[in-house]
C-alpha cells in the first residue's frame, strides 16, 4: 500500500499528461512504490471527454498536430503518432500542410489521449505503482490535516495527500434562465444531443460566433442540415483564418527584452498602451509601411465579406495582424506576466476581442465550408445581441439584437468557455469558491503560483494543492495550448517530487 497518494481531478489532456509525467518522475526516482496516483474522471473513457468523444468529421482541432503532443518537451509526439497509425486515420487528417503539421479531428485526438493513458496506466501498475481510476464527478473538496478529502457524485469520498485540479474547460453558465428549457442546448458538446433533437429542416440559433460556434455549425453541416442557421453575438466577429504554411517571423520590437527594458528604466511594469505601441511598430515593420489602423476595425462589417477576404489573406500567407500574434506563441504568457493586474484587465476590455479573433483562427478547410454556407444563404451572423428569453406559449426563444427581434425554436449556446469563476458551470468550482479553497483572479480563473502551479489563497500557496489548464487563464493566458499546459505540468511534477522527497526522507 502506498504511503502517499496524488489525486488528479480530470482525465482530459492535462490530467493524462500530469499522470504520465508524475509516474515517469516517480519511477526514475524509485519512489513509485511509495506514491500512488488516482485519477477522478466522470466519463467512462479517460481521454475522451465531451469534445474529444465526438465522431463528427467537421470537428477539427484548431491547432496543428505538431503542437498537440502530451509528453514534456515532445510537442510533436501526436504528429509522430499519426504517422505511425496511418492505416487508422483514413480521411480524418486534413493534410493541407504535410503530415507533421496537419490538422486532424477531435475524435482522432481523443483516441491518441486514450491510448497514451492506457499504455502508461498499465506500465505504472506493471512497475508496482498503485494507480487507479475513479469513475465519478468530484463535487467538493475538504482540506484535512494531512491532505484532502474529495467528495464524489456517487456519494463516496476519496482521501489524498496531494490534489491536482485539472477539470478541463468549463462550460459557461451565462444564460442560467434558459437551462432546462425545451430545445435549449447549453453547449455544443456532446454533439449527439443536438443531432438527436434538432430536425434537419429546422431553423437554428447559435449564441456566439467564435470557434465554439464554428464547432456547433460543423455539427449541423456534417449531418446535412437544411434549415437556416444564425449566429448571435455581441460583436458579430468570426475567427480569422489560419495561414496554411506560415513563414517564420523574427520580431524586432514586440519582444520580451523591450518589456524588461521598460521595467529596468522606469522601475515599473509596462502598460497596455506601451505594449500596443510596440505591436503597432512591429506590424508596420512587417507590412513595410504605415497601416491605416482605423481600416483594420472589423465591427459593423459583413461577416461573409470579411471571411472571404480572410480566406484569400490566409492563402497568400497572412498579414501583420494575424502573423504577429501567432509569432508570439512562445512568448505571450511571459509578456502577460509582465503586466500588472489592472493592465491585464484593460487589455481584455480594450483588445481582448481583437486578440481572440486574430490569435485563435479557424483552419482553412472549415473556413471554406463556412463560406459556402454564406454563399448558399443558409448562414447569417447578427451582432449587438442584447437579450435572449424563452417564450413559454411559443415554446421557443426570442432574441433581441440592435433594433430587431428574431424567434427560433432551437438554440445552442456556443459562446465558448467561461473565463471568470462565477461564470463557470461547475459544481466543483462553485463549491471550492464558496468554501474559500480557491480565490477568483479578477482577470479570470483562480489565483495560483505561476512557477509551481500551486493554488494560492490569502496571498500564500496552499501546500500540496495544484491547478492546471483553464482555471489558470487569468494569470497564464495561453491555457488553451496543449504544449503550454504540458510545460506547466513539468513544473508541477518537479515541485511535487521535491516536496515528497523533502517531507518523506528515506
Return d(Cα 320, Cα 150) in angstroms, integer: 48
Q: Grid coordinates in use for 271?
A: 502598460
Candidates 72, 74, 19; CA nearest to 46 is 19
First to last CA, the chain: 17
Instruction: Note the pLDDT of residue 263.
Output: 99
Specify whether the CB–CB gap between 45 and 114 falls below 8 A: yes
Number of other residues whose CB lies within 10 A of the CB of residue 164: 28
Domain ranges in the chain? 4-170+419-503, 176-239+363-413, 256-359
SS (H, E, C) 4-22: EEEEEECCCHHHHHHHHHH
Instruction: Note the pLDDT of residue 96.
Output: 41
Candidates 415, 481, 495; CA nearest to 448 is 495
Return d(Cα 200, Cα 435) in angstroms, integer: 45
Burial classification of residue 116, based on how many CB atoms lie within 10 Å of its CB (0-12 exposed, 13-18 middle, 19 or more buried): buried
Instruction: For the chain of 506 residues, list the mean pLDDT of each consecutive stretch of 10.
Output: 90 97 98 98 84 64 89 95 80 51 81 96 98 98 97 97 96 94 94 95 98 96 96 97 89 99 99 98 98 94 98 97 96 98 97 94 94 98 98 98 97 96 96 98 98 98 98 94 96 98 86
Name residues whose C-beta falls within 8 Å of residue 137's C-beta, 6 or more positions apart in sequence. Answer: 40, 42, 152, 153, 427, 428
Return d(Cα 52, Cα 332) in angstroms, integer: 26
**Quick one: the chain helix, strand, coil %, rounded to 5?**
40, 20, 40
Instruction: Note the pLDDT of residue 98.
Output: 43
Specify whether the CB–CB gap between 455 and 447 falls below 8 A: yes
Q: Which of the following CATH numbers is that of domain 4-170+419-503: 3.40.50.1000, 3.90.420.10, 3.10.290.10, 3.50.50.60?
A: 3.50.50.60
Q: Helices 106-126 and 77-84: crossing angle, nearest 10°? A: 100
Name residues whose C-beta falls within 8 Å of residue 171's C-beta, 6 or more positions apart in sequence. Answer: 186, 187, 417, 418, 424, 425, 426
Name residues whose C-beta falls within 8 Å of residue 385's C-beta, 6 or more positions apart in sequence. Answer: 207, 232, 233, 234, 399, 400, 401
For 171-196, give the DSSP string: PB-S-GGGTT-TTEESSS-SHHHHHH
Specify whether the CB–CB gap between 304 and 237 falls below 8 A: no
Grid cell 456566439 in the structure block, residue: 208
Return d(Cα 157, Cα 117) in angstroms, integer: 24
In terms of CATH, what superfamily is 176-239+363-413?
A: FAD/NAD(P)-binding domain (3.50.50.60)
The whole-angstrom distance between residue 222's C-alpha and the CA centroid of its chain comes to 23
pTM to 2 decimals?
0.94
Return d(Cα 263, Cα 506) in angstroms, integer: 44
Specify whether the CB–CB gap between 318 and 331 falls below 8 A: no
Nearest 5°: phi and psi at 471? -65, -15
Decide whether 4-170+419-503 matches 176-239+363-413 in CATH topology.
yes
Reported for 345-353, long-range contacts at CB under 8 A and 24+ positions apart, including other chains, are: 345/442, 345/443, 346/272, 347/272, 347/275, 348/443, 348/444, 350/272, 351/272, 351/276, 353/235, 353/237
Return d(Cα 109, Cα 116) in angstroms, integer: 11
Nearest 5°: phi and psi at 415? -75, -5
Amino acid at each position: 500500500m502506498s504511503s502517499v497518494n496524488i489525486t488528479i481531478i480530470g482525465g482530459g489532456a492535462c490530467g493524462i499528461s500530469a499522470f504520465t509525467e508524475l509516474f515517469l518522475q516517480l519511477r526514475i526516482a524509485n519512489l513509485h512504490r511509495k506514491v500512488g496516483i488516482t485519477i477522478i474522471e466522470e466519463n467512462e473513457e479517460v481521454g475522451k471527454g465531451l469534445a474529444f468523444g465526438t465522431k463528427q468529421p467537421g470537428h477539427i482541432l484548431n491547432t496543428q498536430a505538431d503542437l498537440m503532443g502530451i509528453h514534456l518537451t515532445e510537442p510533436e509526439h501526436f504528429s509522430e503518432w499519426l504517422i505511425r497509425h496511418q492505416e487508422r486515420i483514413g480521411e480524418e487528417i486534413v493534410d493541407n500542410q504535410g503530415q507533421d503539421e496537419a490538422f486532424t479531428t477531435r475524435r482522432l485526438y481523443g483516441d491518441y489521449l486514450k491510448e497514451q493513458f492506457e499504455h502508461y496506466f498499465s506500465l505504472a501498475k506493471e512497475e508496482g505503482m498503485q494507480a487507479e481510476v475513479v469513475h465519478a464527478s468530484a463535487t467538493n473538496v475538504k482540506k484535512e490535516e494531512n491532505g484532502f478529502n474529495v467528495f464524489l457524485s456517487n456519494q463516496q469520498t476519496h482521501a489524498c495527500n496531494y490534489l491536482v485540479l485539472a477539470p478541463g474547460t468549463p462550460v459557461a453558465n451565462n444564460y442560467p434562465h434558459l437551462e432546462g428549457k425545451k430545445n435549449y442546448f447549453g453547449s455544443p458538446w456532446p454533439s449527439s444531443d443536438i443531432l438527436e433533437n434538432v430536425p434537419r429542416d429546422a431553423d437554428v440559433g447559435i449564441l456566439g460566433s467564435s470557434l465554439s460556434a464554428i464547432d456547433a455549425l460543423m455539427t449541423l453541416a456534417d449531418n446535412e442540415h437544411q434549415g437556416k442557421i444564425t449566429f448571435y453575438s455581441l460583436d458579430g466577429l468570426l475567427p480569422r483564418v489560419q495561414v496554411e504554411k506560415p513563414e517564420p517571423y523574427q520580431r524586432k520590437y514586440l519582444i520580451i527584452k523591450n518589456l524588461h527594458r521598460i521595467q529596468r528604466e522606469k522601475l515599473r511594469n509596462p502598460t497596455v498602451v506601451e505594449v500596443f505601441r510596440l505591436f503597432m511598430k512591429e506590424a508596420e515593420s512587417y507590412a513595410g509601411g504605415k497601416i491605416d489602423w482605423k481600416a483594420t476595425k472589423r465591427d459593423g462589417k459583413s461577416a461573409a465579406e470579411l471571411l472571404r477576404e480572410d480566406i484569400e489573406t490566409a492563402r497568400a500567407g497572412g498579414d501583420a495582424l494575424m502573423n504577429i500574434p501567432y509569432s508570439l506563441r512562445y512568448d505571450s504568457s511571459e509578456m502577460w506576466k509582465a503586466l500588472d493586474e489592472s493592465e491585464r484587465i484593460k487589455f481584455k476590455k480594450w483588445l481582448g476581442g481583437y486578440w481572440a479573433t486574430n490569435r485563435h483562427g479557424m483552419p482553412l478547410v472549415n473556413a471554406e465550408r463556412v463560406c459556402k454556407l454564406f454563399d448558399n444563404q443558409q448562414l447569417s451572423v447578427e451582432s449587438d445581441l442584447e437579450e435572449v428569453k424563452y417564450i413559454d406559449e411559443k415554446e421557443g426563444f426570442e432574441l433581441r439584437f440592435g433594433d430587431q427581434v428574431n424567434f427560433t425554436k432551437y438554440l445552442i449556446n456556443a459562446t465558448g468557455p467561461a473565463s471568470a469563476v462565477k461564470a463557470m458551470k461547475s459544481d466543483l468550482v462553485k463549491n471550492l469558491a464558496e468554501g474559500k479553497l480557491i480565490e477568483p483572479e479578477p482577470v479570470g480563473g483562480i489565483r495560483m503560483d505561476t512557477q509551481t502551479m500551486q493554488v494560492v489563497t490569502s496571498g500564500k500557496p496552499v501546500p500540496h494543492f495544484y491547478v492546471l489548464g483553464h482555471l489558470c487563464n487569468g494569470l497564464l493566458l495561453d491555457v488553451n495550448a496543449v504544449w503550454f499546459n504540458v510545460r506547466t505540468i513539468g513544473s508541477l511534477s518537479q515541485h511535487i517530487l521535491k516536496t515528497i522527497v523533502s517531507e518523506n526522507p528515506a
